[in-house]
Amino acid sequence: MSTPFAWQGRIDAEETGPSPRWHQWVQPFAATSQGGVALIGFAVDEGVRRNAGRVGAAHGPDVARKALANLPVLGEPALWDMGDIDCPQGALEAAQVALGQRVAQARAQGCLPLVLGGGHEVAWGTFQGIAQALPAAQRILILNLDAHFDLRMAHAGNSGTPFRQIQELCAAQGRAFCYRVLGISRYANTQALFERAEALGARFWLDDVVQTEAGMQQALAALAQELQACDAVYLSIDIDVLPGAVAPGVSAPAPLGVPLWGVERVVDAVLSSGKLVAADLAEFNPSFDRDGLTAKVVARLAARLARGKI
C-alpha cells in the first residue's frame, strides 16, 4: 500500500477575503464521506510497459496532486482523497479490479469518482467500477478523448486494450457498447484498428477535423445527441490527445492533437448533461514533462471536472 499523499501548499494568511486552496479543502475519504468528488490515484503503468510504451505514468497521481494543491477553491464541492491503487510485481489485473472496487465504493457513497492515472489501462478498471455501481444502466456512453482507439488485440491486457475489454464486458452483460472517440489520429492507428472500430459501431472524430471552431461545433452537435440518448456518461481523457507542445509529459506525444480549448468544450458539454458518473485522466507521465506544463494541464482539467459546472 502506498503512503498517503500529504496535501500542503500556500496559505494566504494575510488575505481579507475567501482564499482557500485545494490542499486546505481535500479531506481523506472515510466511511462517512458523502457527495462531492472522490480522487483516486491509479499509480500504475504496467499496461504501458506491456504495450512497449514509455513508462513513468505510475508517478502521475502524486505529481498531479502537487499541481492541484495550490489551485484556488472556486465553487468546488466536497473533495475526498481515496489514495492510490498500486501494482506490486506487475499484477495489473488485480490492480484494475481494486480500482473498480474503489470506483464502485465512491459511487455508493454519492461521490463522483475522478481517477488520476496512470496508463490508459486505467479505463478497464474504472469501467469495472461503473458496471458494478450501475447494473441496470443499458446505455452508458463511453467518451474517450484520445489519439488512439485502444481497441487492440493482445494475449494480456495493456494500455492499448482497455476499450476492447470494456466491449467484451458489455457484450457479456447484454449492454450496448456506446463507444465514441474524439481526437483519433490517422497516423497512430492501423487499418485493423479502424476496421475493428467500425465493426464494433464505434464513432470517432479525427484530430484534423476539430482544429477549427466549425469542426468542433459539428462534433459537439453530434455529441449532444449522444448525451441526450444515453443513461450515463463515462469520460476518459488521455492526455496524449493534446498537442505535444501543450502536453509533452505523456507516453506518446501528439504532433497535432486536439487544442486544449476544444477538450475543455467537450468536458463542459459532458458536465452540462448532468449524466457524468465517472472520469479518469490517463497517460500523464511526469518523467517527460517540461516546466511542469503537463501537470498544470492535468490539474486544470481535474479542477474543471471537479467543479462540475461551466
At 182-205, the pLDDT tens digits run 999 999 999 999 999 999 999 999
Q: How many CA atoms lie within 13 A of 230 on its CB side?
A: 27
Establish if 60 belongs to a structural domain. Answer: yes
Determine the average pLDDT of the residues in 299-305: 98
CA distance 94 to 106: 19
Per-residue pLDDT at 3? 81
- Condensed to tens digits (0 to 9), the pLDDT of residues 282-291 reads 999 999 999 9
Look up the pTM and report it: 0.97
Quick check: is 216 in a domain? yes
Question: Is the pLDDT score of 259 beyond 60?
Answer: yes
183: CATH: 3.40.800.10
Domain interval for residue 188: 22-307
Number of domains in the chain: 1
In a domain, 3, yes or no: no
For residue 248, CA distances in Å to 44, 63, 211, 235 come to 19, 15, 19, 22
1 or 63, greater pLDDT: 63
Q: Is residue 270 part of a domain?
A: yes
Query: Does residue 1 carry a pLDDT above 70?
Result: no
Decide: 104 and 95 in contact? Cβ < 8 Å. no
Q: Is residue 9 part of a domain?
A: no
| 5 in a structural domain | no
Average pLDDT of the chain, as a whole number: 97
pLDDT of residue 310: 38
Stretch 253-272: mean pLDDT: 98
